[in-house]
Chains A and B, each alone.
Chain A
Amino acid sequence: MAASLTTTGIPVSVRGLRKSFGGHPVLKGLDLEVRAGEIFALMGPSGSGKSVFLRHLIGLEKPDEGDIQVAGEPISSEGIGDRFRLAMVFQSGGLLNSLTVAENVGLYLSEHRLKPAADIEKIVLEKLALVELGPEDAGKYPSELSGGMKKRVAIARALVIEPQLILFDEPTSELDPLVALTIGREILNLNQRIGATTVVVTHDRDLAFGIADRIAFLLEGEIVALGTPDEIRAHPHPLLQRFLKAEFR
């Protein structure tokens, strides 16, 4: 998919990542390479450590052991956020409730003083249009938005950065299937437009198999399967197969 496009994405390398909370091991020595420009999905049941892993990738958590490198530089190194454009879309959106939609989306540009106010306003409207939100939504506060709209605003805020690496934490959770489909398409379009390396943490099978170049399956802090969607479908791990084939009837 994205591999054939010109990419601005950056690779991510994880070596021996371990993390425990209160003596309970959550990540048990993960080794992983995310290639530049690909869409990489991390699947697994709830509580398997997916979100904790994602937080490590952008430096929000410090590992107990192990090393995470973004484009060859440790994520913990000083000023990495100045050298690379990294973004994360949180499960809840992570929008600042005291700011309007437009202020949230333009926050990166206004705080870093990268553009004059008039340009920021124009860019904000452009990015909102990309996630199918109009100028009438720009003045709303996050409390006035639905769950799906919040996620789209969060994606627009990430788009403003023009990220080289973008992380999505459960982008389709709590959304109805149609909105989930829109969000999935947005992730795909975003990857195709700017070629950013994209890591999606999800337990939504349709999303992972629909957009990812490669998928890893995380179980109790360990990666038990890694490969293309077809390889994952054919993987013999019994719990993975149960996870993939779970149906009501």
Chain B
Amino acid sequence: MFRNLGELVLLFTATVRALPRVWRERRKVGEQLFDIGNASLFMACLLSLFIGGVLSLQVGPVLVERGLGSALGGLVALSMCKELAPVMMSVLIAGRIGSAMAAELGSMRVYQEIDALRTLNINPIHYLVLPRVVAIAVALPCLVIFSNLVGWLGGALVAAHNDRIAVPWTAFFTNLQQQVEFGDIANGLIKSFVFAVLVGVVSCHQGLSTLGGPRGIGRSVTKAVVNSFVLILIMDYVLTRLLLPFDDGWTV
């Protein structure tokens, strides 16, 4: 485990050191961004709509019973932007994109494509890892903003149309506007950026360290997804704790 962590840190450091080359690799970053958007946008939309809806459904009746129905918009919105959107979108990206990255790089490793790159004096970190990590780090925060908007919409729809809640559309969004500050959105974006780098580096590391044949690729994919999930949840706690003092400090 410690060896894996050490290799992860080394890969992360090498990727950061390669950042000045990112403009040169912009075409590959663009291709990766397109792939990420293509593979995850519809799923993100569906997932966020239902997460927002479930939040309203779980919390709405309880708040309405206590005469606090007007606070529903803020509660759903803060839950989405500070916690659920960053974590759920990161999990989605780890499952859909991270696994694909680990499989692709694993297959390239097994079939000697990465060795071939090295013999052509092409650094696999520049050619393969950098564009993927940068693309995830750009795409995930964007996806979180999108997820926030769709989640809020889902929450408002359920709040307005569920008989036990019946919080009007305008009341929901008025409270949302009063409660959500720029800092709350930034909180989620910072988290998602860190999760994105984690998912990218973990997935690329697993892919690049694949051994054996097709079974090895399968193992790498599983490890990439499981390790990403575990690290996302651990870092979620750490980041929430670190960002707590800034909660009241940011205003629009």
Contacts and interface: CB of A to CB of B under 8 A. Distances in A.
Interface of A: 55, 58-60, 81-82, 86-88, 90-92, 94-97, 107-108, 111-112, 154, 157, 161
A94 B118 contact: no
Contacts of B119: 58, 60, 86-88, 94
Contact of B113 (A82, A86, A91, A94): A94
A112 B112 CA distance: 20
Interface stretch (B55-63, B120-128, B138-146, B197-205): B120-128
A55 B122 CA distance: 16
B116 interface: yes
Contacts of B113: 94-97
Contacts of A59: 118
A111 B116 contact: no
A224 to B, nearest CB: 28
Interface residues of B, number: 14
A94 B112 contact: yes
Nearest to B116: A94
A107 B122 contact: yes
Q: By DSSP majority rule, is chain B's interface helix, strand, loop, or mixed? A: helix
A107 B120 contact: yes
A96 B114 CA distance: 9
A91 B107 CA distance: 16
B7 interface: no
Interface of B: 107-108, 111-113, 115-122, 127
Nearest to B114: A94
Q: Shortest 8 CB-CB distances between A and B: which pairs? A: A94-B116, A81-B121, A94-B112, A88-B119, A90-B112, A108-B120, A111-B122, A96-B113
Nearest to A111: B122
A82 B116 contact: no
A126 to B, nearest CB: 18
Nearest to A98: B104
Contacts of A91: 112
Contact of A95 (B107, B116, B122, B127): B116
Contacts of A90: 112, 115-116
A12 to B, nearest CB: 15
Among A94, A97, A108, find the residue whose CB has the most chain B CB atoms closer than 10 A. A94
A49 B122 CA distance: 26
A85 B166 CA distance: 73
A111 B111 contact: no
B17 to A, nearest CB: 14
Among B111, B117, B119, B121, find the residue whose CB has the most chain A CB atoms closer than 10 A. B119
